[in-house]
Amino acid sequence: MRDTNHINLDEPFKGLFTQGMVTHQTYKSSNNKWLEPSEIKYDEIKKQFLDKNNKIVTAGKIEKMSKSKKNVVDPEKIIKIYGADTARWFMLSDSPPDRDLEWTDSGIGGSYKFINKIWRLVNEVMLIEESKFNSTDNVNLNDQLNFSIINITQNIENFHFNKSVANVYELLNAVQKIIDKKSASKKNLLGFFKTLALLLQPFVPHISEEIWKKLKCSNLAINQKWPKPSKIIKIMKSKIAIQINGKTKKILEFKYGTTKEEVKKVVIVDDKIQKHIQNKNIKKVVFIPEKIINIVL
């Protein structure tokens, strides 16, 4: 349209983000017809898939969901059993949005348990008398929360939704230990869950609103401002191993969240690393955030 003078602008988008496909295993009956996942069952004794008539079913490849191959899962059934939040949480947690997602019953079940765990912990803290708690881990709890706010926000902005979900898992595991020991004040724990409700809003809006309401907060969680860390955390640094062809040559300290390109710029001009890469072709650079950068020559 630009070339034919219909519009006076170049490509209107900065980039194309291609999403992955949702996949599921395929199944065929004894007469070679496709079967839906809801039409089969797994016999633990025979170690075989069977249809409703107990005839053997052949399990095929894991392929993108399609009506023609009947390897589809009805979202209405999932929502009826587990709720929409569980379906969202599983899809966001299982893989990055640019990769394929394999739909599994175990995956959806695990997500359902985690959402229930959040709700259980909120209720547990609310029911315990304030005198039962102490303030030993108040600072630790606040640091963990601030740390997670920074990570979750950064990962959302970078489309790393699965990493944001992983951040929430880590945060909940940490706070569960504090709740079990009752080593933070009730006021701090309730404040923690108010902030958590807001952090959960983009992923699981229903449970987010229920937590917000349970804590007797005014208005709706969706109308609140996105959380910001209450202070600058001193532990926001990570040590990254600098490798050449898989062998560690040096360890450097970087600000937490430093990108691959930023780490690479520092590494390739380092005197010690320069001795190994000088006059050699860099085939690729493998980067594991906060841990390793491996220069393959």
Angstrom distance (rounded) from CA 146 to CA 232:
8
Angstrom distance (rounded) from CA 196 to CA 171:
9
- Among 289, 233, 297, which residue's Cα sits nearest to residue 263? 289
Burial 7-43 (b: 16+ CB within 10 A, else e): eeeeeeeeeeeeeeebbbbbbbbeeeebbebeebeee
Half-sphere exposure of 245 (CA within 13 A, CB side): 5
Q: Tell me the domain boundaries of the chain.
A: 9-72, 106-223, 237-296
Fold of 237-296: Ubiquitin-like (UB roll) (3.10.20)
Q: Which CATH entry fits the domain spanning 9-72: 2.20.28.290, 3.40.190.10, 2.40.50.140, 2.60.40.10?
A: 2.20.28.290
Angstrom distance (rounded) from CA 206 to CA 273:
50
Question: Angle at Cα 241 formed by Cα 236 and Cα 246, nearest 5°?
Answer: 150
pTM above 0.75, yes or no: no
Fold of 106-223: Isoleucyl-tRNA Synthetase; Domain 1 (1.10.730)
Q: What does the pLDDT read at residue 203?
A: 96
Could you read off the pLDDT tens digit of each residue along the chain, which spans 297 residues?
888 999 888 877 778 888 888 899 999 998 899 999 888 888 888 888 988 888 899 998 999 999 999 998 888 888 999 999 999 999 888 788 888 888 887 888 999 999 999 999 999 999 999 999 999 999 989 988 998 999 899 899 988 899 899 999 999 999 999 999 999 999 999 999 999 999 999 999 999 999 999 999 989 999 999 999 886 555 567 789 999 999 899 999 888 778 899 999 999 899 899 988 888 899 999 998 888 999 999
28 token code pair:
């065929």
How large is the angle between the packed helices 138-157 and 186-200, nearest 10 degrees?
10
Angstrom distance (rounded) from CA 96 to CA 30:
36
Amino acid letter, 253: E
Q: Are 160 and 17 in contact (CB under 8 A)?
A: no
22-28 and 34-35 beta bridge pairing: antiparallel
Angstrom distance (rounded) from CA 243 to CA 251:
9
